[in-house]
Amino acid sequence: MITYRTGEVITVRDRAMKRIVEQKELPVEMRDKLVYIAGPIVKDNEVISCGPTTATRVEPYIYDFVAIARPKLIVGKGPMYENMEKASRDFGVAYGIFPGGCGALAAKKLRVKAHYRPELGMPESVRVFDAKEFGPIAIVIENGRNYLREIEEEARRRFSRLFR
């Protein structure tokens, strides 16, 4: 499913996510929000670029992060596996992918609302944006079902049959 979202978008990358998990404390309310795994480039409160970060960087923290933050949707770049699947089953969170290389497109859809943990540096700090029709987002994990994993497994089966 492809979707576009309007409302709050919160960016969190691996350093901030690790800190949230270790301290069990959120810098901003994330329940039922869209959490975007991204390191935005912002100058004078203008979003220059906000491309997704490879989600496997946060996979070690994702289950515990979701247990604390309870977002509705997490968006990143590329696949996630066991920890995200389990978080999806246990907490109802979905995972979607935003196309890599489209940071300028994302920037056009985001307006800065708030900034937290600036001591982590520009790409690692936590930011809250107002978004209008943010996307395209391809939902690839929901209710614990990983559609990307299923596609990968089918592709492997077909490839092995071709080269027997």
pTM over 0.95: no
| CATH class as words, domain 2-162 | alpha beta
User: pLDDT tens digit string along 15-73?
Assistant: 999 999 999 999 999 999 999 999 999 999 999 999 999 999 999 999 999 999 999 99
- Cβ(91)–Cβ(67) under 8 Å? yes
Every domain of the chain and the residues it spans:
2-162
